[in-house]
Chains A and B, each alone.
Chain A
């Protein structure tokens, strides 16, 4: 392998070469939540397919999804969904050319963090009082 091929590449710069910052951590979290949501759709597809199969299959799916592990997965899925939604809107605002200054990006970043937490808790409080 030539020396040129051993240079650190962009995704692996954070850590040894590049100090993690709030904005860069939120950026990689956007990607991680996106991938996690993709895997999490398995639960959604399972739920819909079970509903289509009939009441017995649906009852089995409900017992899986309402188990401790099932509820934990759905709770984390909810947070990932609202994080990816809020940060996705942040990205769309950037694409429109707004909020690109560092202080604005930091402020919108915290808005994403808090809105994702508040929306998740609100959803669960309303759905399962």
Chain B
């Protein structure tokens, strides 16, 4: 017999108040990252081998809307995935609560900033 109310059981949110959302989004982003990382690895290998990673070659690569779109998708999903992972690591190791919240804010703001900078950089190259 459960002492939880039927409504609480139906919501399934538990003591963390957000249920399986964090866990699920970590899986969704990891599934998306599998093909994106394979594409990115091959792209970088081609850039280095065929063009010695020259500036013009990078410009031409991201000048193609398909590549720019894939790169922005990779960066957005990757930094979101990094945010979810960093959050779990901090929640596991950083105590007490005040330091935990401070660490969460700093790391998550930094990751958001890195994501924003890199996506703007790709857009600038794509729209140049």
Q: Which of B41, B89, B114, B120 contacts A52 (CB 8 A)?
A: B120
Find the B residue at minimum CB distance from A89. Answer: B34
The answer to the question of B45 belonging to the interface, with a C-beta cut-off of 8 Å to chain A, is yes
Instruction: Give bound CA distance, A11 to B89, whole Å.
Output: 10
A49-68 interface (Cβ within 8 A of B): 49, 51-52, 54-55, 58-59, 62
Find the A residue at minimum CB distance from B128. Answer: A52
Decide: B55 and A51 in contact? CB cutoff 8 A: yes
1/0 per residue B53-88: CB within 8 Å of A? 101001100100000000000000011001001100
Q: Chain B: interface residue count, which band?
A: 20 to 34
Interface of A is mostly: helix
Find the B residue at minimum CB distance from A129. Answer: B49
A-side residues, CB < 8 A to B, are 10-11, 31, 34-35, 37-38, 41-42, 44-45, 48-49, 51-52, 54-55, 58-59, 62, 81, 85, 88-89, 91-92, 95, 123, 126-129
B-side residues, CB < 8 A to A, are 27, 30-31, 33-34, 37, 41, 44-45, 48-49, 53, 55, 58-59, 62, 78-79, 82, 85-86, 89, 92-93, 111, 114, 117-118, 120-122, 124-125
23 contacting pairs across A/B (C-beta < 8 A) = A10-B92, A11-B92, A31-B89, A34-B82, A35-B89, A38-B86, A41-B78, A41-B79, A41-B114, A41-B118, A51-B55, A51-B62, A51-B121, A51-B125, A52-B120, A52-B121, A52-B125, A89-B34, A92-B27, A123-B45, A126-B45, A127-B49, A128-B49
